[in-house]
Homo-oligomer: A and B are copies of this chain.
Amino acid sequence: MTATAADIQGNPKKRRAILDAATTVFLREGFSRASVDAIAADAKVSKQTVYNHFGDKNTLFMAVTDAVQDMVVADIMELMDSGFPDPSRLTGPGDLRAALLDLTRAWIRAVYTGPLVDLRKLVDSEAEHHPELRERWFRNGPGRTYPRLNRLLTELARAGLLDVPQDVLAEPDLLAHQLTAPTGTDVRRIRPDMDFEAEFEKRVARGVDFFLRAYEPRS
* A residues lining the B interface (CB < 8 Å): 28, 30, 32-33, 118, 121-122, 124-125, 128-129, 167-168, 171, 173-174, 177-178, 181-182, 184-186, 189, 206, 210, 213-215, 218
Q: Indicate if the CB atoms of B182 and A177 lie closer than 8 Å.
A: yes
| Contact for A215 among B122, B184, B213, CB less than 8 A | B213
| Contact for A186 among B32, B122, B174, B186, CB less than 8 A | B174
Residues in B whose Cβ lies below 8 Å from that of A167: 206
Q: Indicate if the CB atoms of B218 and A218 lie closer than 8 Å.
A: yes
Shortest Cβ distance from A173 into B: residue: B189
Q: A121-B125, A122-B125, A124-B121 are in contact. Are A177 and B168 (CB under 8 A)?
A: no
Residues in B whose Cβ lies below 8 Å from that of A206: 167-168, 171, 174
Q: Indicate if the CB atoms of A178 and B210 lie closer than 8 Å.
A: yes
Q: Indicate if the CB atoms of A214 and B210 lie closer than 8 Å.
A: yes
Q: Complex Cα distance A28/B129, Å? A: 9
Q: Which 9 A-B pairs have the closest CB atoms?
A: A125-B125, A181-B185, A213-B214, A214-B214, A32-B32, A181-B182, A181-B181, A178-B182, A121-B125
Residues in B whose Cβ lies below 8 Å from that of A178: 182, 210
Residues in B whose Cβ lies below 8 Å from that of A218: 218
Supplied contacts A30-B125, A218-B218, 9 more A-B pairs, CB within 8 Å:
A32-B33, A33-B129, A121-B125, A168-B206, A168-B210, A171-B206, A177-B185, A213-B215, A214-B214
Residues in B whose Cβ lies below 8 Å from that of A122: 125
Q: Indicate if the CB atoms of A128 and B32 lie closer than 8 Å.
A: no
Q: Complex Cα distance A13/B117, Å? A: 41
Q: Complex Cα distance A129/B129, Å? A: 21
Q: Complex Cα distance A171/B190, Å? A: 12
Q: Indicate if the CB atoms of B210 and A189 lie closer than 8 Å.
A: no
Q: Complex Cα distance A201/B184, Å? A: 24
14 pairs, CB–CB < 8 Å, chain A vs chain B: A28-B128, A30-B129, A118-B128, A121-B125, A122-B125, A124-B125, A167-B206, A168-B210, A177-B186, A177-B189, A178-B210, A181-B184, A181-B186, A185-B185
